Structure 1
Amino acid sequence: MVVLALVTLAATSGFTSGRPAPSWRLSETGVTARFRGLAPVSGRVAWVAGSAGTVLRTVDGARSWQRVDPPGAAELQFRDIEAFDAEHAVALTIGEGEQSRLYATADGGRTWRETFRNDDPAAFYDCVTFLDRRHGLALSDPVGGKFRILATADGGRSWRVQPTAGMPDALPGEFAFAASGTCLVSADHFGAGRAWFATGGGERARVFATVDGGLSWRVTDSTLPSGPSAGVYSLAFRDPWHGIAVGGDYATPETAPDAAATTRDGGRTWQPAPAEPGEYRSGAAWLRGRTALAVGPSGSDISRDGGRTWTEFDAGSFDAVRCVPGGCWASGEQGRVARLAWPH
């Protein structure tokens, strides 16, 4: 067990447009893994998963962390983790062929069971999401010209590759980004079966949407630029209709024109943000109401108008951000995990 004190990271600014701005309060994790997988459950319980097979869990609001890696995973790269509570979680490793795997725990990470190992050398899984405690989806880059969906109906204990008859064709060079666990997102309170995934790499950066649990998908172009390392890296929806998309090009992280967009119709159409972060952002989340956050290696931004305009409030490096009742969490390189704090 890693038990270390909480330390505070100073914000780069105290006010944004005359309003108090938040800051990130860093928690000392005691490791140097890069945590692209982040799964907060509440203000006290959260999981992170990252490089070198590293998985951590806290049950005391980040005052201490437990190391709960699955055995034999040290050579694998975790990129996503989804948690239901302090005991139950599902984690995804990425890579070609057998490097893409799913693990599940029901006892707080004391034991893990490998529940899926990819046996198709053409598949590469990027993200996993759960529509409710039983039904989940995992996304692979295109195989045979179509994105591949893996589904579970038993909370991640078993998985099955879905038929591709309802999946639109992929563009040449199109793929998803395993950068923050939010290239594929869903939320059970929006109604059964809703999920979205985002792409880049090809001629256009696009967003796919399903309303039937992943059996059929529609696709639309986003307004974000696309390229070999550019596109939509993260999606977040606050209800069935209002969503945000952020991204850019990780090869040029400090310059990302037009790399944020919004939708008001469930992803059928997208509008560019009039004042985007201007830098590559790999993760996004809704805080409350029309307030949203975006993070990336060069900083964090806040939007108070539904994702139309963004203002940077911190210059630290993060890859992923998630908000739950009880607060917002972020994670990234060098073992960085933080909770959002507001000035009194």
Structure 2
Amino acid sequence: MKTLRIAALAAGVLLAMSQLTPAQAVTSPGLTGGGRHGPKYQWDLKPTGSASQFRGLAAVSADVAWVAGSAGQVLRTTDGGKTWQNVSPAGQTLLFRDVEAFDAKRAVILAIGPGEDSRIFRTSDGGKTWAESFRNTDPNAFYDCLDFNDQRHGLALSDPVDGKFRIAETSDGGQSWQVQSTKGMPAALPGEFAFAASGTCLVAGPGRTAWFATGGGDRPRVFRTSDGGRNWKVTDSPMASGAAAGIFSLAFRGPLLGVAVGGDFEKPTEAVKAASVTNDGGRSWKLVPADKAPKGYRSGSAFVPRTLATVIAVGPSGSDVSYDGGRSWTQFYDGSFDSVECAGHGSSAACWASGAKGAVARLAVKR
């Protein structure tokens, strides 16, 4: 079993759900950054009162966000992080690694693990109740991440079974899931898998497009589909790969401009071939030179709303911003986050980050 999973499973057993209390939003000092090419950014911390590690994150707007993490915990805010509600599924101690939310009421969460530990739940009442909509029954499958093209169509990704990555598909907003045939899936490399690090190893784009990224083998790769996951094409990446290395996160601005970030999670302060960019929808990837790449391993990435090509990347050793679609990066924060997601329109647009020890923050701009 890959190292990240072993560490995550162990952490899930050791971490207990803490009592949640309303918390005043705090802006930590010394988190500002930026450059001559764009605005300065800082993380505005939003204390949750939780000790869980939140790798699952869904940004809906500046007011609404969901986080999902260890010990079966799911939290929701509807007031910009001033207060958080514990909306965890009753009686669950699963490792939640991804959450996708359509609004303040409707959300889908993914639990990871071998066999029946990989499950999907859905709520339509703000987390008051949850319905299990998918349970993996194949002991060789291990689901890592999921995403939606729209409010009905979504995909969930499993590591290879019988030599091929596996896709589950929904066309009713996550109420039901069907495992697709692997006839249109290229064969996996020896040792190849996806990383369940931030919920962005698979991302859905416009129409029925989607991409997922890998590591673990002798080279990382990016798979892409244009027909809702039935047929896939794959491209080698120039980034580094290994037992704990590869591409951990993808982000796309439309159908063509994309960014991949990663590295080796066992070496969080090193960034060896840890970022790449595409301008043709993932058909080819160009490595970001070391002097322009993020300063360490990065597990999450997202394009900033209302910008043409501004991207944020986060990891345990810091956060970076790129104003040029991922071709060059500047670190603006040296604290730890695992995930970053952006969403919303106009004044409601926002980027959120989440990570260990209950950490959640919202991106603030200082011009």
For 1:40, the equivalent position in structure 2 comes to: 59
Match 1:163 to one of 166, 181, 186: 181
Contact preservation (8 Å) 1:126, 1:138 = yes
Contact preservation (8 Å) 1:37, 1:320 = yes
Query: Structure 1 segments of 4 or more deviating over 6 A?
Result: none
Aligned length: 340
AA in 2 matched with 1:152: T
Deviations 1:216-246 (A, max 9, x none): 0000011111000100000000010100000
- What is the CA distance between 1:290 and its match in structure 2? 1.1
Give me the identity figure in percent. Answer: 60
Residue 239 (structure 2) pairs with residue 195 (structure 1): no
Contact preservation (8 Å) 2:31, 2:43 = no
For 1:328, the equivalent position in structure 2 comes to: 351
- What is the CA distance between 1:13 and its match in structure 2? 4.3
What is the TM-score with the length of structure 2 in the denominator? 0.91
- What is the CA distance between 1:10 and its match in structure 2? 2.0
Deviations 1:265-306 (A, max 9, x none): 000000011311131000010012111110000000000111
Classify the secondary structure of the residue corresponding to 2:358. coil
Query: In the superposition, relative to structure 1, how do residues 4 and 166 fare at CA in structure 2: closer, same or farther (>3 Å)?
Result: same
For 2:222, the equivalent position in structure 1 comes to: 207
AA in 2 matched with 1:41: V
Query: 1:221-232 maps to which residues of 2 (within 5 A)?
Result: 221-232=236-247
Query: In the superposition, relative to structure 1, how do residues 38 and 237 fare at CA in structure 2: closer, same or farther (>3 Å)?
Result: same
- What is the CA distance between 1:12 and its match in structure 2? 3.9
For 1:62, the equivalent position in structure 2 comes to: 81
Instruction: Provide structure 1 residue ranges, at least 5 long, that are not aligned to the other structure.
Output: none
Deviations 1:61-94 (A, max 9, x none): 11110000001212x1000000000100000000
For 1:135, the equivalent position in structure 2 comes to: 153
- What is the CA distance between 1:3 and its match in structure 2? 1.6
- What is the CA distance between 1:343 and its match in structure 2? 1.9
Q: Distance in 2 between matches of 1:151 and 1:18?
A: 40
- What is the CA distance between 1:329 and its match in structure 2? 0.5
Residue 286 (structure 2) pairs with residue 286 (structure 1): no
Match 2:109 to one of 91, 96, 110: 91
For 2:233, the equivalent position in structure 1 comes to: 218
Classify the secondary structure of the residue corresponding to 2:128. coil
Q: Distance in 1 between matches of 2:353 and 2:303?
A: 13
Residue 299 (structure 2) pairs with residue 276 (structure 1): no
Instruction: Provide structure 2 residue ranges, at least 5 long, that are not aligned to the other structure.
Output: 1-19
AA in 1 matched with 2:73: T
Query: In the superposition, relative to structure 1, how do residues 15 and 119 fare at CA in structure 2: closer, same or farther (>3 Å)?
Result: closer
Contact preservation (8 Å) 2:215, 2:245 = yes
For 2:204, the equivalent position in structure 1 comes to: 186
Match 1:246 to one of 251, 261, 264: 261
Q: Distance in 2 between matches of 1:65 and 1:222?
A: 39
AA in 2 matched with 1:278: K
Q: Distance in 1 between matches of 2:49 and 2:74?
A: 12
Classify the secondary structure of the residue corresponding to 2:159. strand
Q: Distance in 2 between matches of 1:70 and 1:85?
A: 18
Residue 98 (structure 2) pairs with residue 80 (structure 1): yes
Q: Distance in 2 between matches of 1:126 and 1:26?
A: 27
- What is the CA distance between 1:19 and its match in structure 2? 5.3
For 1:26, the equivalent position in structure 2 comes to: 45
Query: In the superposition, relative to structure 1, how do residues 51 and 264 fare at CA in structure 2: closer, same or farther (>3 Å)?
Result: same
Q: Distance in 2 between matches of 1:244 and 1:11?
A: 27
Match 1:9 to one of 28, 31, 35: 28
Q: Which deviates more, 88-97 or 2-11?
A: 2-11
